[in-house]
Structure 1
Amino acid sequence: MTPREIHGGLYAATICPMRSDGSLDCASLERHFASVLADPGQRGLLLNGHAGEGIFLSRAEQAEVVSIARQAAGTKRILAAVSAEATAIAATDAQAALRAGADGVMVFAPFSWVLGADARSIVAHHRGIAEATGGAPVYLFQGSVGSGIAYKPDVLKALLEIDAVVGVKEGSWEVKSYEITRRIARAARPDVAVMASGDEHLYTCFVLGSDGSAVSLSALVPEMISALDAHVIKGDHAAAQAIHTKIFDLAKLVYAAPGHLAAARVKACLAALGRIASPACRAPTPGIDDAEIERLLAALRPCLEGA
């Protein structure tokens, strides 16, 4: 079996619906999961990541999200992100997610690493989580170029020496860096799934070669991401490029500066479509104003017309 068949595939990086007071809206969360998983192209869900506002959730809330997803997902796979600064806290978060039903964990770089992280700390953090979770599948997150949390080639090679590592969410948002990550992984660990993550250039990554994806636009237009993947696999590039054009126009608005509002923008779209009850995010994230929502919906409409 290929890395894609074992550990890869298409995963929707889901959002976490909330009420205006910041509490979890579990009913909307159930509907959200059901809507995303209704697309047969989605292999599973990535929970509690940047799109899912995992850093705003307590450990108990993170586990509750996983538990609800487990009920909705059936035999589909669930990956849970952990983002804590301290290794011990991240490891305990990972253990709680696995007990709640996650099939694997994705280790997001602590935000303090934006200031610069020692390579030994990066490797020790991942190794500590892997050891604490007893060999459960671990996925790396390769950060965007220029963010300060993109792992350099020597660090990536060291991370791939951790036996529990089975996949990489490749979020460089740059084709050259994506290709470098892919080549390093293929040389060091051909069994590891390298999954594209830059929504604006998914088409390019799929053409270069990918073991799937893990993107938040799959939480909004999962059928479009599945269709793009399927067309590339079939070699129907005219159809793939047509989808890419629509995705690009939407993605450049969703991920526009300031980037930390991406989850709020996706929520605003989902609320406007009636798929969740409220676009609310937990403080201090502000809401999206009406003018921006109109621009988002204008870019979203072509994506809803069919893949």
Structure 2
Amino acid sequence: MTPRKKLQGLVAATITPMTPDGQINLSVIHQYVDYLVSEQNVKNVFVNGTTGEGLSLNIRERKQLAEEWVRQGKDKLDQVIVHVGALSLPDSQELARHAAAIGASAIAVIAPFFFKPTNKDELIAFLQKVASEAPAVPFYYYHIPPLTGVKIRVEELLDGIKEWIPTFQGVKFSDTDLLDLAQCINKNEREQFAFLYGVDEQLLSALAIGADGAVGSTYNYLGRKTTLMLQAFAKPDLALARKYQFLTGEFLNFVIKLVFPVCKYDHLCLVTLF
């Protein structure tokens, strides 16, 4: 699953399957992989991120999940990206080393969000110390200021970042600041960084300014529909693309009211549906 080309298209931000008594249900990951590939036509995954509530899991649980996704994804998935961010730098470094050892396609890191970096240099220093523990593994920055409160603009962060993190490959951009995203894309065309948008209900807007694809929770179950939107946009058939984007918005409007207020503070609610 070592990436050989720029990451593009859809990446499913995976849910962490749980048993009713709150244990991780590793036994269903193989079904999960088959479902994504055969039913949703999605062959890239982002493990232990926000959707999987990775920051609510302990280190052992996160390692187990990463191992199982890499194991079950072999010869089926194109890329397994493992989020290794943590509030503790040593924990994040340990997870990065582990991801490299098990053969993850790439790693991603969120900004620490309790004792927050206050400027670009502080954030890059943290990211560099994690990336250096997996020096042969592609590295992505996971930008999600609505949850971290770290509002350092990605445009600023990317200036000279390859000098500090040679393995840097791109950004999971989970913010509605499309001006920042547009400037990132406009100023880094030569670098061939991948810009993957993380606000599912606004993906079409991000595609219009040059996003390469998307990482999101809805691609677990709306992967095929979203692929149709990507195809419509590429034709271009903007009316059809808008139709699919509006469908995603309607669906999320419904789901957010029912699920997210309950689940986002308690990873034990993610009981497997398989």
Give the TM bin, normalised by the shorter chain: 0.7 to 0.9
1:181 and 2:176 matched: no
Alignment correspondent of 1:138: 139
Q: Map 1:1-307 onto structure 2 (within 5 A).
A: 5-39=5-39, 41-75=41-75, 76-112=78-114, 117-144=118-145, 148-152=149-153, 153-161=155-163, 162-186=165-189, 190-255=191-256, 276-277=273-274
Q: Determine the C-alpha separation between the residues in 1 that align with 2:85 and 2:125.
A: 15
Unaligned runs of 5+ in 2: none
Q: Against the structure 1 CA distance between its residues 121 and 29, is the aligned structure 2 distance closer, same or farther, given a 3 Å change threshold?
A: same
Q: Deviations over 1:121-174 (max 9, x none)?
A: 211111111211123100111224695223323233243542110121111123
- TM-score, scaled to structure 2: 0.85
Q: What is the deviation of 1:264?
A: 8.3
Q: Determine the C-alpha separation between the residues in 2 that align with 1:58 and 1:266.
A: 11
Deviating beyond 6 angstroms after TM superposition, the runs of 4 or more aligned structure 1 residues are: 256-260, 264-268
Q: Which amino acid aligns with 2:56?
A: F
Unaligned runs of 5+ in 1: 278-307
Q: What is the deviation of 1:20?
A: 2.2
Q: Determine the C-alpha separation between the residues in 1 that align with 2:259 and 2:180.
A: 22
Comparing 227-236 with 241-250, which one deviates more in the overlay? 227-236
Q: Determine the C-alpha separation between the residues in 1 that align with 2:38 and 2:46.
A: 15
Q: Determine the C-alpha separation between the residues in 2 that align with 1:146 and 1:46.
A: 17
Q: Against the structure 1 CA distance between its residues 266 and 9, is the aligned structure 2 distance closer, same or farther, given a 3 Å change threshold?
A: farther
Q: Determine the C-alpha separation between the residues in 2 that align with 1:101 and 1:245.
A: 38
Q: Which amino acid aligns with 2:220?
A: A
Comparing 99-108 with 34-43, which one deviates more in the overlay? 34-43
Please state whether the residue corresponding to 1:51 is helix, strand or coil: coil
Alignment correspondent of 1:285: none
Q: Which amino acid aligns with 2:37?
A: L
Q: Determine the C-alpha separation between the residues in 2 that align with 1:258 and 1:81.
A: 23
Q: Deviations over 1:249-290 (max 9, x none)?
A: 12344456996756689998x97xxx725xxxxxxxxxxxxx
Q: Against the structure 1 CA distance between its residues 247 and 173, is the aligned structure 2 distance closer, same or farther, given a 3 Å change threshold?
A: same
Question: Does the 8 Å CA contact 1:8/1:212 hold for their aligned counterparts?
Answer: yes
Alignment RMSD (CA, Å): 3.1
Q: Which amino acid aligns with 1:223?
A: R
Question: Does the 8 Å CA contact 2:40/2:223 hold for their aligned counterparts?
Answer: no
Please state whether the residue corresponding to 1:132 is helix, strand or coil: coil
Q: Determine the C-alpha separation between the residues in 1 that align with 2:84 and 2:237.
A: 37
Q: What is the deviation of 1:116?
A: 5.3
Alignment correspondent of 1:292: none
Q: Determine the C-alpha separation between the residues in 1 that align with 2:217 and 2:28.
A: 17
Q: Which amino acid aligns with 1:47?
A: V
Give the fraction of aligned pairs with identical amino acids, expressed as a percent.
21
Comparing 46-55 with 97-106, which one deviates more in the overlay? 97-106
Q: Against the structure 1 CA distance between its residues 220 and 110, is the aligned structure 2 distance closer, same or farther, given a 3 Å change threshold?
A: farther
Q: Which amino acid aligns with 2:126?
A: H
Q: Determine the C-alpha separation between the residues in 2 that align with 1:237 and 1:264.
A: 37
- TM-score, scaled to structure 1: 0.76
Please state whether the residue corresponding to 1:180 is helix, strand or coil: helix
Q: Determine the C-alpha separation between the residues in 2 that align with 1:251 and 1:267.
A: 21
Please state whether the residue corresponding to 1:139 is helix, strand or coil: strand
Q: Which amino acid aligns with 1:26?
A: L
Question: Does the 8 Å CA contact 2:55/2:86 hold for their aligned counterparts?
Answer: yes
Q: Which amino acid aligns with 1:17?
A: P
